[in-house]
Homo-oligomer: A and B are copies of this chain.
Amino acid sequence: MISRSSGEATPAQPSGRWIVGVDIGGTNIVVGVIPLDGGTPASLATLPTEAVRGSEFVIQRVASMVEHAIAETLDGQGGTRADIAGVGIGSPGPINREKGTVINTPNLGWKNLPLRDLVSHAVHLPATLDNDANCATYGEWWLGAGRGVDYLVGITLGTGIGGGIVLNGEIVHGASDAAGEVGHMTIEFTGRKCKCGNYGCLEAYCSGPNIAARAREGLEAGYESILTQLVDGHLERITAATVYEAAVLEDRYANEVMAETAKILGAGVANVINVLNPQAIVIAGGVTRAGEHLFGPLRSEVRRRSFRSAYDACKILPAALPETAGMIGAAAVFKKIAFGAV
């Protein structure tokens, strides 16, 4: 699970005071340095992923961000490179944790890429790899909204919809590192086509691009809304963020779209509650910017669709670490594997 092929010898007993967290997303790479016992990340940095420039470019960028963050941290806090325990990496999946490879990720264009070992070699530090949605959930569990929760589910709504499950301090990975793919739960089996090829997935309604597409479809069908003005009539420029903005401005149509989004997301969240019965669900991603325009109708729908005792036992929370949960969780995965516990 941990890279042992690093240029630097991996200590038999892991040591160090810091872990570098790396979150590789479709849009941005986030890097930070986390104290071993938690606390505020140091040397936080974000750069665009620019995946179109190829995997070598992305790995080089990750490596130089990691080196820069380490140098800055040691400079500011004192210490030597021996104080850096290693690097935890989060990447879109599916991934193979054992081998440290990204099996296939359409957003980045990678196939069977040995990401963990490539980064490990480049920075001469041991490294671990886990799925980005698992990392985001683990980060919220370690230092965010899910702190102290024994049984937590995280749902991240972005370009896609991902999820993670943390039970008694461990990520539930499942039989093939694929657990937690809540975005591709069918919630309308005769419904909208999803980019995965199926019909009626949660993601086909509630991902950012699909919230925007649903809003656009209504406008094209003649609904009136300030959305049209917000994009100067260029409907193709509407994004999920535009819809939240219009909803917060009390635009009626945008609020209808958000209410429908909340209802459908509510069916998905209720499915998670009925099947898993967690103590808390943390919801992350741009959609949470809509605040109570989302969470109000969401909670109503979840209550309607879930078992009473399971609903009562489950808190539904907005994420506390919107930009950094994935990076922090990637570091937590490294800590768990190298040190045995987070």
Contacts and interface: CB of A to CB of B under 8 A. Distances in A.
B278 A174 contact: yes
A157 to B, nearest CB: 16
A221 B45 CA distance: 64
A29 to B, nearest CB: 25
Interface in A171-222: 172-182, 184-191, 197-198, 200
A103 B313 CA distance: 15
B307 A267 contact: no
Contact of A307 (B181, B189, B278): B181
B176 A313 contact: yes
Contacts of A173: 277
20 contacts: A151-B175, A174-B276, A174-B277, A175-B310, A175-B314, A176-B277, A177-B277, A177-B309, A178-B274, A178-B309, A179-B275, A180-B275, A182-B275, A186-B305, A187-B187, A188-B189, A188-B191, A188-B200, A198-B304, A275-B276
Contacts of A32: none
Contact of A188 (B175, B177, B188, B309): B188
Interface string A12-36: 0000000000000000000000000
B310 A178 contact: yes
Nearest to A310: B178
A60 B176 CA distance: 47
Interface of A: 94, 103, 151, 163, 167, 172-182, 184-191, 197-198, 200, 263-264, 267-268, 270-272, 274-279, 304-307, 309-310, 312-314
B313 A178 contact: yes
A207 B4 CA distance: 51
A306 B94 CA distance: 13
A278 B314 CA distance: 23
Given A198-B304, A271-B271, A278 B175 contact: yes
Nearest to A176: B313
